[in-house]
Amino acid sequence: MSFATGVIGALLLPTLSIFFADAIGVSPFWVGIPYAGIAIGSIVYNQLIGAWSDKLADRRWLVVGLCFVGLVACAIFALSRDYWITCLCAIGLLSLSMVAFSQVLAYSLEYAETVIPTDKVALFNALVRAQIAFAWVAGPPLGFLLVSYFSFAVLYWSAAGLFVLVSFFTLGLLPALADHRSANKAQVLPWRQVLTGSSGRSLIFCLLALSLMWGVNNAYLISLPLHLTRNLALDTQWVGWIMGTAAGLEVPVMLLAGVLAARVSPINIVRASGVAGLALYAGVYWADALWQLFVLQLANAVFIGILAGLGVSVVQQMLPGRAGSASALYTNTTHVGTLISSLLVSTVAEAYGYHSVFVANILLVLVATVMFFVVRDKRGESA
């Protein structure tokens, strides 16, 4: 399920800018509006629906409803070429349908809490995240192939069909977790108690640190292609090879991190990811040869593989019995990171050039790593 929902996102999001630029025919400024709207809308929807979904006896029907919203959004994209209709569809409907991804993640957290042994939960979560990583290896090339050889209409009707399949799979393959709420009811603390004292401070610092980490990663993805082509005079084809190398290495890192999390507290492993981030951005800043950039993708894989594989486990440990809220908060750190990266690139690159973005990344990773050290080790407290 995580792979199927991941493929939908990997089909739609990377191709959306091309859709607005080529099929709708608008300038870059107008292309950016739906992206910003999707990020903000996803944050609002995720938080509101995530908290509410924890009260549901069976969140599978919520996933089905969100998939129906995605089906409607894809139909509008396939049929309309009016900018404001498609823009409002992206902001209002597509961002709402994206909540299905965090709800599938929330279901997996509940499944892990109910069925999986405690010492294997982090590994299970890492496996779920690895499926999403696989989806993002396959999804974007498939999306661009559909656009190149067929049309945007074929792309969006294909995505609509996937939404329908996910709906059927959700009800047909995923078991109902009827005993989950009663099994975890005693663990659920009131929000006021969660957000006060050292526990609330740990949660806030953890979410801020994750947002900064995702922000610098997005800024890196935006700036690297322009740095390679403009500053290092490399061909654009190498950008894809470099990013593909990192994506391929991330999956085994996620799985290894999940195995280690059975023996070491996840927050300690996440702290170590900051060291990999510092090595990556310092290395990219000083690198002047192609082979150096390929070697640095190992640090990139460790940095992102740990964050993607264990980040949600860290948040889940702080919010026992609140799988929907935990997955929503974690997912929202990626959306906040998108906003941070937009601000970072637009200010730093405009003033000092794309090369200087990596210096800003180093500083922000350092700040995020310090924040992670403020986060209390929940496993150590319970031991």
DSSP for 96-111, please give it.
Answer: HHTHHHHHHHHHHHHH
Long-range contacts of 83-89 (CB under 8 A, 24+ apart): 83/20, 83/24, 83/26, 83/30, 86/19, 86/20, 86/24, 86/34, 87/20, 87/30, 87/33, 87/34, 87/37
Burial class (CB in 10 A: 0-12, 13-18, 19+), 374: middle
Instruction: Please provide the DSSP assignment of 313-331 as one string.
Output: HHHHHHSTT-HHHHHHHHH
Distance (Å, whole) CA 135 – CA 132: 5
Can you identify the CATH homologous superfamily of domain 193-382?
Answer: MFS general substrate transporter like domains (1.20.1250.20)
Mapping DSSP to helix (H, G, I), strand (E, B) and coil, where does residue 123 land?
helix
Cβ pair 329, 54 in contact under 8 A: no
Please tell me the predicted confidence (pLDDT) of residue 257.
87
**What's the pLDDT at 236?**
66
- For the chain, counts of helices (H) and of strands (E): 18, 0
Give 10-residue mean pLDDT values along the chain (383 residues).
Answer: 83 82 82 82 85 79 93 96 95 92 82 76 76 77 85 95 93 73 50 59 92 92 81 78 82 87 88 95 94 95 90 81 75 86 82 89 96 78 44
Q: What tokens appear for 3 in the block?
A: 């792979």
Q: What is the pLDDT of residue 28?
A: 66
* Location of each CATH 1.20.1250.20 domain in the chain: 2-187, 193-382
Angle at 306 between CA 211 and CA 140, to 5 degrees: 75
- Residue 155: CB partners within 8 Å, gap ≥ 6? 11, 15, 143, 146, 147
Residues 6+ apart with CB under 8 A from 120: 262
CATH topology for 2-187 is Growth Hormone; Chain: A; (1.20.1250)
- Tell how far CA 142 is from the center of its chain: 19
Q: How far out from the chain centre does Cα 143 lie?
A: 18
